[in-house]
Amino acid sequence: MHELKTQMLELLSKMNMLSQTRTADQGDRELDSHTVPLATPPTFADSVRSTMKNTIKEEKAQAQVVISNAKEENSDLRFMSSLCEKISHKSILKNVSRMGTKLVHSVRPMVMTFDSNFDAHTFMSQFDDSKSDDDVSTLPIKIRPYRTREDQTMYKKKLEMARELNKKAKDESPNTSFSLRNNGCIWKYIKDAACNKWRRDPEWFFVKTVISEVIIVVTVSMAIRVIRVIMVIRDILVIRVIVVTMVIMVIRDILVIRVIVVIMVIIAIRVITVINVIMVFTEHIMLDLKSLI
């Protein structure tokens, strides 16, 4: 086992030396030439690292909720504890922070981080269900899911789509309107003439948005699953190689010990045989001496 560790350390040191030499050679070539050096393609390890980093970032974003119009006068933790108590939410918050730089005439959005996206969605659902309560309805706050930079870019594009749909709807009928929800979905509303209220049309959906979202989600999820399977297989193969190596070393040690034991037994048998021969020879000499006397 000690020899295996030594060999692994030597291999790692050689790989580090090789990478340093390669980096130094690339730097020398860049200094010697006046042309722009070509970018080296990312390795498989870099791709896996980047994918896992983005996955962790997305999972963290899905477990966060943004609250707008929450005053910065009192403690944010105290405010959130009071809000969770009002809506009967019992999951524990991991962190409460503010977005951006503090300004005098504006209130920064509050970011809440939960343990999982399930807790975040539960909190938003309980808040929506408690809007009719007096303790919650008087609060001037608004909540929405946290959006990454990529999600925010996509949200702005969908906002432009909703505006274009509303422009076309106004030209055709004043009783139709489109709205972009916090989850990124575009909903169609139709004004009910009987009660003079806007109602959602459940049979309408934005085909372009839905298809693009499905393709992106399926592609990303499949890529993440394939990478995770590859990493699991790699870890299993590495573990098997280590186990087989350890078993071989143990078997080798057992065989060496057995050979040593056999050799020692043979030597002991030979020593005992020699001692017996010497004792027999000594007895014969003693008998001969007694007969002479």
pLDDT tens digits, residue range 35-82?
545 556 667 667 767 777 777 878 888 889 999 888 887 788 888 888
* Planar angle of CA 245, 250, 253, nearest 5 degrees: 125
Q: What is the rounded CA–CA span in Å between residue 262 and residue 266? A: 6
- The phi and psi torsions of 70 (rounded to 5 degrees) equal -90, 120
Residues 6 or more apart whose Cβ sits within 8 Å of residue 188: 176, 177, 178, 200, 201, 204
Q: In whole numbers, what is the pLDDT of the chain averaged over residues?
A: 78
Beta strands in 69-109, from DSSP E residues, in sequence order: 95-98
Give CA separation, 107 vs 48, 147, 155, 219, in Å.
39, 18, 22, 38
Tens-binned pLDDT, residue by residue, of the chain (293 aa): 455 455 555 655 655 565 555 455 555 454 444 454 555 666 766 776 777 777 787 888 888 999 988 888 778 888 888 888 888 888 888 888 998 888 878 889 999 899 888 999 899 888 888 887 777 777 788 888 888 888 888 888 888 888 888 888 888 888 888 888 877 788 888 888 778 788 888 777 655 455 555 566 667 777 788 888 888 888 788 888 888 888 888 888 888 888 888 888 888 888 888 888 888 888 778 777 777 76
